[in-house]
Amino acid sequence: MLKQNDRRYRPSVLRGSGFFLLKQNDRRYRPSVLRGSRFFTLLFLNFTGINGNYPLRKTVLLIFLLIFPLSFFFADTGTAIFVTATGGSYHLAGCRFLSQSRIEITGADAVRGGYTPCSVCRPPNPEALFTGDLSQNTSPLYRVNIAGIQNSGNANLRAMTPANVVGHVDGDTVRVRISNPPPGLNVVETVRLLGIDTPETVHPNREVEFFGREASEYTRTALLGRNIYLAFDWDLRDRYGRLLAYIYTEEGQCFNARIVLDGYAHAYLTYPFQFMDEFRSLEQEARQLGRGLWGPR
């Protein structure tokens, strides 16, 4: 140990922290800061077994003094913000308005979507959250299962991925162009509509099924060339690599739900999805009213 009469060192620091490299006249260091971290320093020295090796200890402590402040400098200072499934404001994590649903968004999302700060939890202004290039889309995909909504009519249109329908395959499959695709998506995608199944018209091993052409024409007429919005669920793609999505029109209507209600598609209940109960009810209503493929042959 260093002797008490060695005036090169500050006795108060020696007794309190175990730092042996600071000269008494060196005023660049604050003893209060050093004493606050003495526990971690002594723990590290004892754990590594170098508490008695003074040359090695001096080297390790010097490295520690250089790195420890940098950990604060490079710390993440980002603020997590959230929106609800239907609201127009963004909130901090503990806000009471997030009790029913919460969807994390980025500062860029807040600016693009025109969200306003919550007047209760008072998050930072959008300008403070995002100052980058809005042409770079880093937004997370809008998933209705994460949003926790059970009805397609409650989805948040402004949080969805905008696209344009550029091609038509059949009643439940279209091709879309996404001008600014978020991570995980391509500029051009084949979209298989989630939760529905229409009669076959293009299957290589099957004949055209009853009401297949009508269902295909229904989708082509309703979507081709239109601007739409994409929402997602538990699984992003099927085994063929097609994008699984709910398509929403600019008016905010879920096309997947509409085609079932109008009787041009079955509710596809083989695999679970967030709107399963709703789509099952819509199919029952279409059956009862004799719509589309449920009408007289």
Q: Given the residues 102, 242, 280, 287, select the one marked as catalytic.
A: 242
The residue type at 264: Y
Q: Which residues pair with 9 in a beta bridge?
A: 23
* Spatial CA neighbour of 97 closest among 79, 80, 118: 118
200 in active site: yes
Structure tokens, 32:
């209060």
Asked if 242 is an active-site residue, the reply is yes
Rounded Cα distance, 203 and 168, in Å: 14
State the distance between the two ends of the chain, measured CA to CA, in whole angstroms. 99
Active-site option among 10, 112, 192, 258: 192
Strands 173-177 and 188-193: antiparallel
| Residue 110 near residue 126, CB atoms below 8 Å | yes
Catalytic-residue membership of 177: no
Instruction: Give me the catalytic one of 200, 258, 278, 283.
Output: 200
Q: What positions carry a catalytic annotation?
A: 192, 200, 242
